[in-house]
């Protein structure tokens, strides 16, 4: 059985033990985003992790090279009473890395990731490497960088990992390619008291795949089309059907840059084995013509 790719390293989101309590599940309200960029002529990965727990919202920024060497990491602990803006200055290999953020007026949905009213910027030797959020003008003004260079930002959104919660319906918003259109992803699966449960996945309310006889097909893969690109969907709902009631299901959406790249890539994955490193994931994805990866851990609410 093929290893399920984990591209967030040892500091990434981990699947909790199925015996965890509700409080532990609440602490897993985490979204991790991975961006590929170039620093000093070499490829690097910027990991942005958004968290939400009883203490409030939290944020961490990590930068690693493709050999998995951590260049720097900044943890912005959850806040309730402190200001939600600031900056951090770091020096790595005689180079200056600056991280700026302002979430004072950020708006959040059910998850820990803000959707508007904020900015988060990573600057390397006075060059903007990554800029997130809708307050771009405010970010450039704060950083004193010319906004005409916005198009020179070389970071690419390559993967996202998110924990989602529900009873029958599980929702998430996702882009299936860097700077692509935002879509609503809905997973429907009712396993309570049903002899023959069914799995349905919708993109923008349109049904794109349906799996019947789910007890026989609790793991599998299927190709759908989003934005004109083939997207391979992998699923594992074993915990929902046969495991502890508090176990999670895992879904992965892997964009394929061309249909012919799908040949030979159909395989069942094992989400319990998370051994692939960031560099292995990126290298393998590029060699197989694969683009963006969306990984969803779906937890059933009690």
Q: What is the 3-state secondary structure (H, E, C) of the chain?
A: CEECCCCCCCCCCCCCCCCCCHHHHHCCEEEEEEEEEEECCEEEEEEEEEEEECCEEEEEEEEEECCCCEEEEEEEEEECCCCCEEEEEEEECCEEEEEEEECCCCEECCCCCEEECCEEEEEECCEEEEEEECCHHHHHHHHCCCHHHHHHCCCEEEEEEEEEEECCEEEEEEECCCCCCEEEEEEEECCCCCCCCCEEEEECCEEEEEECCCCCCCEEEEEEEECCEEEEEEEECHHHHHCCCCCEEEEEEEEECCHHHHCCCCCCEECCCCCCCHHHHHHHHHHCCEEEEEEEEEEECC
Separation in Å, CA 55 to CA 3, 27, 30: 35, 10, 14
At residue 290, the pLDDT reads 57
At residue 190, the pLDDT reads 84
Q: What are the start-end ranges of the E strands in 118-198?
A: 119-124, 127-133, 156-166, 169-175, 182-189
Choose among 38, 46, 18: nearest CA to 278. 46
> How much is the pTM?
0.80
At residue 152, the pLDDT reads 59
Q: Are 127 and 151 in contact (CB under 8 A)?
A: no
Q: How does pLDDT run along the chain (302 residues), one tens digit per residue? A: 333 334 433 333 333 333 344 444 544 689 999 999 888 777 889 999 999 888 888 899 999 887 777 888 889 888 776 778 899 998 887 889 999 999 999 998 888 999 999 999 999 888 889 999 999 999 988 887 655 555 557 788 889 999 999 989 999 988 887 777 899 999 999 877 677 889 999 999 999 999 999 999 999 999 999 988 899 999 999 998 887 656 789 999 998 765 454 444 444 444 433 333 444 554 455 444 457 889 999 998 86
At residue 23, the pLDDT reads 41
């Amino acid at each position: 059985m093929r290893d399920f790719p984990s591209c967030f390293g040892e500091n990434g989101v981990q699947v909790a033990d199925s015996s965890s309590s509700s409080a532990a599940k609440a602490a897993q309200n985490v979204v991790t985003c991975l961006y590929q960029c170039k620093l000093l002529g070499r490829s690097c990965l910027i990991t942005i992790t958004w968290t939400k727990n009883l203490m409030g919202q939290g944020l961490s920024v990590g930068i690693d090279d493709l050999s998995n060497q951590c260049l720097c990491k900044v943890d912005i602990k959850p806040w309730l009473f402190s200001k939600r803006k600031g900056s951090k200055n770091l020096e790595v290999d005689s180079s200056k890395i600056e991280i700026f953020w302002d979430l004072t007026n950020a708006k959040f949905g059910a998850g820990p990731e803000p959707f508007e009213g904020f900015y988060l910027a990573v600057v390397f030797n006075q060059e903007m490497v990554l800029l997130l959020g809708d307050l771009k003008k405010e970010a450039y003004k704060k950083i004193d960088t010319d906004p005409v260079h916005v198009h020179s930002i070389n970071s690419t959104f390559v993967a996202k990992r998110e924990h989602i919660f529900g009873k029958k319906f599980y929702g998430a918003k996702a882009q299936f390619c860097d700077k692509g259109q935002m879509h609503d992803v809905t997973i429907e699966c009712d396993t309570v008291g049903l002899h023959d449960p069914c799995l349905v996945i919708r993109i923008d309310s349109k049904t794109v795949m349906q799996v019947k006889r789910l007890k026989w097909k609790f793991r599998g893969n299927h190709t759908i089309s989003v934005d004109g690109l083939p997207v391979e969907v992998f699923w594992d709902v074993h915990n929902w059907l046969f495991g502890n009631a508090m176990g999670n299901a895992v879904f992965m959406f892997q964009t394929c840059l061309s249909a012919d790249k799908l040949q030979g890539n159909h395989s069942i994955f094992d989400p319990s084995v998370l051994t692939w490193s960031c560099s292995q994931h990126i290298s393998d994805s590029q060699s197989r013509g694969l683009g963006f990866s969306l990984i969803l851990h779906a937890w059933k609410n009690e």
